[in-house]
Amino acid sequence: QVQLTESGGGLVQAGGSLRLSCSSSGRTFSSYAMGWFRQAPGKEREFVSAINWGGKSTYYADNVKGRFTISRDVAKKTVYLQMGTLKPEDTAVYYCAAGGYAGGWDSYSTYNVTKNYDYWGQGTQVTVSS
């Protein structure tokens, strides 16, 4: 069982930065791929970024590529999403998720699918003002 808790959301002006954190309970954190998704009001949850269990491979949605960076700290059981050059359209609730226990995921088309993830956090609100 994995429990995930996001933090770091808030209100920021366009062009600003935020760093989201997702801390995990459980001893198997390092065996899971981790992803970040977001959901804006009235819209479906969408993929933002993911990192494989070993931390060597990262994946980004086109609309955040070059602005967001995902990383993980195995010792702290935490995954981060550094967000820069924020835009009003980045406003959403951001969720972290864990999936793909013990590897086996090797393509963007696996990491970016919501239903492939087994565990989800409660979300943190990010609001970008214009």
At residue 71, the pLDDT reads 97
The backbone torsions φ and ψ at residue 47, rounded to the nearest 5 degrees and listed phi first, read -70, 140
Alpha carbons 21 and 88: distance in angstroms, whole number: 20
Q: What is the spatial order of strands in the sheet that 78-83 belongs to?
A: 3-7, 18-25, 78-83, 68-73
Residue pair 110/53 in contact (Cβ under 8 Å)? The answer is no
At residue 79, the pLDDT reads 97
At residue 86, the pLDDT reads 98
At residue 5, the pLDDT reads 97
At residue 43, the pLDDT reads 97
- Please write down the HEC assignment for all residues of the chain: CCEEEEECCEEEECCCCEEEEEEEECCCHHHCEEEEEEECCCCCCEEEEEECCCCCCEEECCCCCCCEEEEEECCCCEEEEEECCCCHHHCEEEEEEEECCCCCCCCHHHHCCHHHEEEECCCEEEEEEC
At residue 61, the pLDDT reads 98
CA R_g for the chain: 14
At residue 113, the pLDDT reads 94
Q: What is the pLDDT along the chain (130 residues), one digit of tens a residue?
A: 899 999 999 999 999 999 999 999 977 888 899 999 999 999 999 999 999 988 889 999 999 999 999 999 999 999 999 999 999 999 999 999 999 887 778 899 999 999 999 999 999 999 999 9
- Tokens (6 digits) for 19: 């760093």
Maximum pairwise Cα distance, the chain = 42
Residue pair 55/63 in contact (Cβ under 8 Å)? The answer is no
